[in-house]
Structure 1
Amino acid sequence: MDLSIKIFFTSFIFGFIIFPYFIKLIKKVSKNGQPIRSCGPESHLITKRNTPTMGGIVILASSLLPILLWIQLTPEILLLVFITLSFALIGFIDDYLKLRANDYQGLSAKAKIFIQFFVSLVGMSIFKLYSAEGFTKTFLLKEIMIDFGYLYIPFAAFVIVGSANAVNLTDGLDGLAATQVITSFIFLGLVAYMAQADVRFCIAFIGAMLSFLWFNTHPAKIFMGDVGSLSIGAALGLTSVLIKREMLFAIIGIIFVIETLSVIIQVSYFQYTKFRYGKGERVFLMTPIHHHFEKQGWSENEIVIKFWIIAVTCSIFTLAFLL
């Protein structure tokens, strides 16, 4: 327990100290801040203009530092570090291209997804060589297990990539993604603790994310950027894979699921109605769904708090009835 406390405070204090200097540095390097979507909510063009991005760099540094210093580098930890840093690199390239072109478009969606799947498949395939019997099995609910066999590695890659992009989609309001990530890591950590698995990776990220949230609450002084959202989302997904609770993660991370489904429904319905009637129609005012509520007049803080209440409620339900 003493080591867990040391890891938490190291990641939190390191991030809390570094962020003010990092914000000043990024402002000097990129005077225009993160490019804002012109098709997004009109208020964002004013309130979020010139806000620096790439805060995920400090999040990763403050979370991985205590992990590398004090946690034994088991195959699980090495895989977590590899996947997290690989997705961070993808996000960094995407953020860099956006800043260089001063446009919200970076890497193409297809390129990002392909690279993410490739990295995940390679990582899980190597990890399989060091895994014990039962690698392809996972819990469905409670003590019910399912064996995916040869499909488990693609399934695990799907969870990792899906989680990474779900967090990326959720990262659209000040404090929204951060509060959801912290909640997910807390409850995944509790599930891991109850399953007698190592929870220190979760603790390191909780400390780092709390220090980031201090500067990301509305009005945000910095955004995490794709370098943060993709890597942290991948770490969340992989954590659920390593503790064999991918199905529970879908409920603990219910907001991530809802945000992703809203985009899929919106795009699918638009394409269907455009093909069928010659004019695309929309289900929501705007997606991801947090923008829909913005269009309805909800404030950013109202959306963040209400979404957080939903996440905590679903997570407690998961621990009480499904674990």
Structure 2
Amino acid sequence: MLFSLYQYLESIDFPGVGMFQYISFRSGMAIIFALLMSTIFGKVIIRKLQKQQIGEVVRDLGLEGQYQKKGTPTMGGLIIIAAILIPVLLFGKLDNVYVLLMITTTIWLGIIGFLDDYIKVFKKNKEGLAGRFKIIGQVGLGLIVGLTLYFSDDVVVRMESPGDAETRQVTTEEVVEAPETKYVKAPVTNVPFFKENRFNYESVLGFLGDKAPYWGWIVFVFAVIFITTAVSNGANITDGLDGLATGTSAIIGTTLGILAYVSSNTIYADYLNIMYVPHSEELVVFMSAFIGATVGFLWYNSFPAQVFMGDTGSLTIGGIIAVFAVLIRMELLIPILCGIFLVENLSVMIQVFWFKYTKKRFGEGRRIFRMSPLHHHYQLKGYSESKIVTRFWIVGIILAVLTIVTLKIR
């Protein structure tokens, strides 16, 4: 909204408004506004949640400090969502297809998570929203994102032959496009560790020959659906200790913000030999708001938590991370960058599989972990909650650095 005002003020030569054309200024303002909203106005929302007695429902899992959490306000994800959307609406370009997709993702998954929390808190149903409805919602979002990216004329990437970046002459003031540069619409993405840093989803259907391009969108959309669902659920599972999902998401968000910046900058994209994604610079503004919102929420969510994000927050931040990575063509880095989410997810899957397998074979179910997800396993081993969270953050930082390093490891 403010960007539209800037365009009008610039047309009448209003002094000082030129700063709004810079991504760095608008991103900085998005972080500041998101931090202020989540810390200052977050307190107001927490008090209202307490007044409405919207507290956490605690199950008896035999974990230390578990009952101290009973009654702690939940649905705090509303703070995160508001702290993301309002700065983006103020400082982002609202006619940008990428920004619109991220806003849709935030609202869509926010509604699904809110319904889940509402059923748990107000309907006193510990199971919350039925799993099939969550999956339907996540699949629906994946369809919207995947089909938009594949068919929208506003979504293109720049493809170059190897070595183009070395022969092109560029300066910080002017970018000189090489004649062989091509802007194409294709379901392509960056691949880590390989020199030929490209993967086309249509290649999966290579056995169809010339018909592969006509059906390639199915593979791409399926991949988007899978990534969105997996990461969203991964964040949801990780949200089990005070500050764990929030801090981990802030680390991941910072990394994605860096990746978005280099992907939207023609010079850095050439230097790193990654795909340049035109008009994706507005995603830096969105991710700046995301970072500010999660860090600000950590003010109240760190141990001992004064508020929990609930599924309203965890499903939303996971979906944001997944869709954002897809938009900047970095989704194949998710197993590294979101390693915490991945391991938490796998710990549950392994535990369930092994329990069912051993029960069928030996008549008694056995467990690999003392409890899943993995963070509860360490709780039962006697580690304090704050120590577990801090160490998971450290691992998250290591994974984030490794993700950035992959840009030069080919």
Q: What corresponds to 2:46 in structure 1?
A: 23
Q: Does structure 1 residue 215 correspond to structure 2 residue 305? A: no
Q: What corresponds to 1:195 in structure 2?
A: 263
For the structure 1 residues 222 and 270, does the alpha-carbon distance in structure 2 shift closer, same or farther, using more than 3 Å as the test? same
Q: What corresponds to 1:49 in structure 2?
A: 70
**Code of the aligned partner of 2:81:** L
Choose the corresponding residue for 1:126, options 130, 144, 148: 148
Alpha-carbon deviation of 1:134? Answer: 4.0
Alpha-carbon deviation of 1:322? Answer: 4.3
Q: Distance in 1 between matches of 2:357 and 2:133?
A: 25
Q: Distance in 1 between matches of 2:301 and 2:186?
A: 38
Q: Does structure 1 residue 175 correspond to structure 2 residue 198? A: no
For the structure 1 residues 206 and 41, does the alpha-carbon distance in structure 2 shift closer, same or farther, using more than 3 Å as the test? farther
Q: Does structure 1 residue 152 correspond to structure 2 residue 152? A: no
Q: Does structure 1 residue 140 correspond to structure 2 residue 191? A: yes
Runs of 5+ unmatched residues, structure 1: none
Greater Rg by CA: 2
Q: What corresponds to 1:225 in structure 2?
A: 310
Alpha-carbon deviation of 1:116? Answer: 1.2
| Percent of paired sites with the same residue | 36
1:124–1:157 contact (8 Å) kept in structure 2: yes
**Code of the aligned partner of 1:60:** I
Choose the corresponding residue for 1:291, options 360, 368, 376: 376
Q: Distance in 2 between matches of 1:63 and 1:321?
A: 29
Alignment of 1:306-317 (within 5 A): 306-317=391-402
Q: Distance in 1 between matches of 2:111 and 2:223?
A: 23
For the structure 1 residues 238 and 200, does the alpha-carbon distance in structure 2 shift closer, same or farther, using more than 3 Å as the test? same
For the structure 1 residues 123 and 245, does the alpha-carbon distance in structure 2 shift closer, same or farther, using more than 3 Å as the test? closer
Runs of 5+ unmatched residues, structure 2: 1-23, 157-183, 203-215, 265-279
Greater share of helix: 1
Detail structure 1 runs of 4+ shifted over 2 Å in the superposition. Answer: 40-45, 101-104, 126-129, 131-135
Q: Distance in 2 between matches of 1:296 and 1:315?
A: 27
Alpha-carbon deviation of 1:44? Answer: 4.4
Structure 1, residues 92-115: CA drift from partner, whole Å, max 9, x if none?
000000002334310122221122
Q: Give the paired residue count.
A: 321
Q: Does structure 1 residue 64 correspond to structure 2 residue 85? A: yes
1:75–1:127 contact (8 Å) kept in structure 2: no
Q: TM-score, normalised by structure 1?
A: 0.95
Structure 1, residues 72-101: CA drift from partner, whole Å, max 9, x if none?
121111111111211110000000000023
1:36–1:44 contact (8 Å) kept in structure 2: no
1:139–1:145 contact (8 Å) kept in structure 2: yes
1:36–1:103 contact (8 Å) kept in structure 2: no
Q: TM-score, normalised by structure 2?
A: 0.76
Moved more, 231-240 or 309-318: 309-318
Q: Distance in 1 between matches of 2:127 and 2:53?
A: 16
**Code of the aligned partner of 1:75:** V
Structure 1, residues 100-149: CA drift from partner, whole Å, max 9, x if none?
23343101222211221122213321343212334411112155211112
Choose the corresponding residue for 1:8, options 31, 38, 43: 31
Q: Distance in 2 between matches of 1:62 and 1:152?
A: 31
Q: What corresponds to 2:56 in structure 1?
A: 34
1:79–1:127 contact (8 Å) kept in structure 2: no
Q: Distance in 2 between matches of 1:18 and 1:193?
A: 29
Q: Distance in 2 between matches of 1:255 and 1:295?
A: 19
Q: Distance in 2 between matches of 1:15 and 1:45?
A: 26
- SS state of the match for residue 316, structure 1? helix
- SS state of the match for residue 14, structure 1? helix
Q: Does structure 1 residue 111 correspond to structure 2 residue 133? A: yes
Q: Distance in 2 between matches of 1:186 and 1:135?
A: 27
Alpha-carbon deviation of 1:41? Answer: 3.9
